[in-house]
Amino acid sequence: MDAKSNNAVIIYTDGACSGNPGPGGWGVFMTIDSVRKKFFGYSVNTTNNQMELLAALRGLEYLETQSNVILYTDSKYVQQGITNWIYTWLKNGWKNSKKEDVKNAQLWQAIYQKTLMHTIDWRWVKGHANNEGNMIADALAVQGRDKAIEILAGCDKDC
């Protein structure tokens, strides 16, 4: 898919986590027409894979109408999961090749529903390799993770 000829929405996503599990954040940087949008979120107890998935989901949820999308992720887990593995999971009732429940199935299912609405070209991009969109998404994910750490620092032991 060519971004210019198809008027594609460009989305860069990233996740960040301190510890695995631990406090984490997700970031989305997108361009719709010529408008740039940036947003992030966090969780005080999560995994890096969950944050990577949530970033992709939140980016797609932002789109209210059917769109052509080029979604960049530096997570092979996300890119390969949604373009390859998911078809086996669907066929096997959300079980993996070892007949175990697929990890993060609710997030995968929500993302899969978005693939039915949009035309998405899932592209892997090497992280921390001077790609502007990836660097912005990474900074947003780190901002989210830092917010989760800040919240935890203000909590007592029951938080």
Q: Name the domain count of the chain.
A: 1
- Evaluate whether residue 136 is within a structural domain: yes
Is residue 138 within a helix (H) or strand (E), and if so which, with residue range? helix 132-153
Backbone angles phi, psi at 101, to 5 degrees: -60, 140
Per-residue pLDDT of the chain (159 residues; tens, 9 = 90+): 554 446 899 999 999 999 999 999 999 999 999 999 999 999 999 999 999 999 999 999 999 999 999 999 999 999 999 999 999 999 999 999 899 999 999 999 999 999 999 999 999 999 888 899 999 999 999 999 999 999 988 876 666
Q: Given this model, what pLDDT does residue 113 score? A: 96
- Evaluate whether residue 93 is within a structural domain: no
- Evaluate whether residue 35 is within a structural domain: yes
- Evaluate whether residue 132 is within a structural domain: yes
Which residues, in sequence order, are CB contacts of 157 under 8 Å at separation 6+?
Answer: none
- Evaluate whether residue 1 is within a structural domain: no
Tokens of 30: 């997108």
Domain that holds residue 47: 9-75+118-153
Q: Given this model, what pLDDT does residue 156 score? A: 66
Q: Given this model, what pLDDT does residue 5 score? A: 43
β 119-124/68-73 pair status: parallel
Tokens of 52: 């990577």
- Evaluate whether residue 88 is within a structural domain: no
Is residue 91 within a helix (H) or strand (E), and if so which, with residue range? helix 86-91
Under 8 Å between Cβ of 122 and 79: yes
- How crowded is residue 111: how many other Cβ atoms within 10 Å of its Cβ? 24
Q: Given this model, what pLDDT does residue 154 score? A: 83
Tokens of 157: 């032991």
Peptide bond into 21 cis (omega under 30): yes
Q: Which CATH number do you get for residue 25?
A: 3.30.420.10
- Evaluate whether residue 54 is within a structural domain: yes
- How crowded is residue 11: how many other Cβ atoms within 10 Å of its Cβ? 28
Q: Given this model, what pLDDT does residue 1 score? A: 53
Catalytic positions = 14-15, 52, 74, 128, 138
- Evaluate whether residue 40 is within a structural domain: yes
